[in-house]
Structure 1
């Protein structure tokens, strides 16, 4: 569990594993957006219910280089969002528990890695 107020630790470089499901999911995701220096994030509990907030939080982490995501069981299509643009510095991305196809935005990762 992420303690309340973690968003004030803006100089964090590594954080994981953060469970974003449960009673405090929106508060945790809001605080994650404040971690502007974060380079490595491992997050669990991603599902259809919190996908929009999750994608928004991850998109705001401009310095993020490594992202690992553990999806909940009910995750069919939960990462499919054409508006999601992975952070430009992202070098490593792991998705655990994915059912179905890779999300369409994963092609953007290839474009980033070719730069």
Structure 2
């Protein structure tokens, strides 16, 4: 009785927690992009802003911006818009949004720092 209940509970949870194989292109492109963004954020946390981090961030953003049109071009002129191509493009979009947020926090908000009231004016 209890083992059957636990087994059905685990099957139900695994259905919602484990992504389906159809979504693997989405997760691949999302994890690839988020990993590079996390590298920049970790370096900023430990070392602060430097020219090396600016160069890395520029390279990562260029790589993410180039990936999207390449996938779209291959999808349009290749097999057509397959589910794999759509999922891969959908995975790149949150990464590009995170790139914009990173640049905004680093460069446009940098002038708003205060000396003793916390990192930003409030």
Q: Compute the TM-score of the two structures, normalised by the length of structure 2.
A: 0.27
Q: Compute the TM-score of the two structures, normalised by the length of structure 1.
A: 0.29
Q: Which has more strand, going by share of residues?
A: 1
Which structure has the larger Rg?
2
Q: Which has the higher contact order (CA 8 A, sep 6+)?
A: 2
